[in-house]
Amino acid sequence: MIFPARVLIVLLGLLAGAASAVADDELLKTQPFPSEPAPAPPPAAKQAPPVAPSPGAVAKQKGPPGMMGLPWPKTAAEVSKTLDNLYAYLATEGDHRQAGEIGAAIERLWRMEGGDTVNLLIDRGEIFSSRNENDKALPFLDAAVELAPQYADAWSHRAYVEYRMNNYTAALGDLRRALALEPNHFRALDAMGKILVLMGEKKAALEVYNQLLKVHPNIEGGETERDKLKKEVEGQGI
């Protein structure tokens, strides 16, 4: 692959900083999935006869947390199909904890769509952003979206850095690009809603939160923010 000059400069910078990458990457470890509690053993006396679990219960117990019994995908086509299935589970799951695990699994699958080089660029940018060095973070995210313009998560990550730089207009533009590529990107929807609230665009924010809750009904704080906005917007007679 022939990289554009700007991207090549960023990649060379990555190589130059590789010695510190191991320590820095500790900042980027995702929160571990909640482990399933070990079932309590049945009482020694009066053991109930074994009951065959329902197909739905089996699906929830097998495989990695949040995958709902689905196998971990190995190809791009499998990733796409698995994401479609998990989005359907996410939209209908009534248990808050299980929904959180599904959402975490979806975010892991998003990374598979990016590829190693692009994800490395995103990770290095996130490290600088976590240190409040957003001017250093932005070139890495610029390179990521240039290398992978069809990767929704790259646009979403760049929008976050732009938001931290108080460049709300640019952040909204990137979030719209992310959602055009992946309408179910609940992180992009959540970020867009928050930025619109900061900009005073409450009616538009309410519409975004309504969409967010269709995709991820259990997302942290989503329902509370939607209800608050609904009262404020209706109070304005809009």
Instruction: Give the 3-state secondary structure of residue 189.
Output: helix
pTM score of the predicted model: 0.77
| pLDDT, tens only, 15-66 | 455 434 434 444 444 333 333 334 444 454 444 444 444 445 444 446 789 9
Lowest model confidence (mean pLDDT) among 18-32, 112-126, 210-224 = 18-32
Residue 75, in any domain of the structure: yes
The token duo for 117 is 């080089």
* Average pLDDT for the chain: 83
Helix ranges restricted to H, 131-218: 134-147, 152-164, 168-181, 186-198, 202-215
Q: Which of 135, 163, 182 is the last residue of a domain?
A: 182
Q: Which domain holds residue 157?
A: 116-182
Domains identified in the chain, total number: 3
How many Cβ atoms are within 10 Å of 166's Cβ, its own excluded? Answer: 10
CATH of the domain at 167: 1.25.40.10
Do the domain assignments include residue 18? Answer: no
